[in-house]
Amino acid sequence: MASPEFPQGKSVKAAVRITFEGESKSPVTFEKAVEFSELRNPGGDEFVAQYLLAIVEVESRWVKYRRTLPDVSRVYRSVKQTFGFQDLIHGSYEDRLNTRTMWIEIGHTLLRAGGLLAKSRAFHEVQQLITDGNERENVVWHLHLDKMDSFDLSVIFLGKVSELAARLIFERLGASLIPNLDMSKANWEREVTWSAIQRGFANRSGNPNVASLTDPEYLEVTEIFAQFLNLESGKRLLAYQHKFVHRITPSVDNPGFYTHLESRAMTPIVDKETGQQKGWTKGIGAMPSSAEYAFLDLYEDAVLTLRHYVMLLERLDAIPRFGPEALATVAAV
């Protein structure tokens, strides 16, 4: 028996067929028979068809946007590391191997961030192409959800890149930047934060690992730290992320797609002759006339942040001690 929340719909069998036509060879066709259950009646089959065709459009377009983003293949390039017996004794083995592992993790995260960002831009493009059909409004709404799902996750991954860069410095310097860090505790990694790592890195004279850095190395890492944290586009993205993670989801492009709390603001009515308040006015049930954000503005900030992060990582890579090979040896504690 169907519930009131999910009324009984119809089941429809369909053949999904995709044919690739090339100039130099015969067409290649892929086909699969599927059954869609609980389709809304009427309109469910039209919605599914329009939506799936839109998804195919997205798949055909997102790569062109990915090509406009930075190439990050150098981050996870193949490198060779060699170790001696003394490396195992003094901790250099863990420092260098963990540094290499952090570069791989950063590379994977950049790939995911870039792919999702490009997908979100393709969703936006295809969303604008849906201009007719009985199911237009539903299709546009679902494409908007898909767009924002991809974009929001890409923003989270961009923030993670910043955190991972700090963690790389932490690992390369013997995991020594946070005094009295008890790695036997559950969730000890919660204490490995940007602020804690910065404070530890600033204590150059009190930490032999940091003291072993040359002046140019120390100044360059300090500058890289500052640029990770003080990028304006990154700050705007972080503010947006805090909203959609911790507060009412901020509206993007269309305020009608989002929830809005009723305003508690009241405007006083002042008597012009006496200057005294004689009442107040209050709006009820008003829908905002514009969204808090425009997607293309958010997208531009994300692209700028990604490019800047890749540039900073290239600068970090250029320091042999902190690159994927982790060549130099820091002081033994």
pLDDT at 266: 81
| Each residue's pLDDT expressed in tens, for the chain with a length of 333 residues | 344 554 567 888 989 999 988 877 788 999 999 998 888 888 888 999 999 999 999 999 999 999 999 999 888 888 888 888 888 888 888 999 999 999 999 999 999 999 999 999 999 999 999 998 899 999 999 999 999 999 999 999 999 999 999 999 999 999 999 999 999 999 999 999 999 999 999 999 999 999 999 999 999 999 999 999 999 999 999 999 999 999 999 999 999 999 888 888 888 888 888 888 888 787 776 777 899 999 999 999 999 999 999 999 999 999 999 999 998 654 433
Prediction pTM value: 0.88
The 3-class secondary structure across the chain, one letter per residue, is CCCCCCCCCEEEEEEEEEEECCCCCCCEEEEEEEEEEEECCCCHHHHHHHHHHHHHHHHHHHHHHHCCCCCCHHHHCCCCCCCCHHHHHHCHHHHHHHHHHHHHHHHHHHHHHHHHHHHHHHHHHHHHHCCCCCCHHHHHHHHHHHHHHHHHHHHHHHHHHHHHHHHHHHHHCCCCCCCCCCCCCCCHHHHCCHHHHHHHHHCCCCCHHHHCCCHHHHHHHHHHHHHHHCCHHHHHHHHHHHHHHHCCCCCECCHHHCCCCCCCCCEEEECCCCCCEEEEECCCCCCCCCCCECHHHHHHHHHHHHHHHHHHHHHHHCCCCCCCCCCCCCCCC
pLDDT at 333: 34
pLDDT at 149: 97
pLDDT at 7: 56
pLDDT at 2: 44
pLDDT at 1: 39
pLDDT at 331: 43
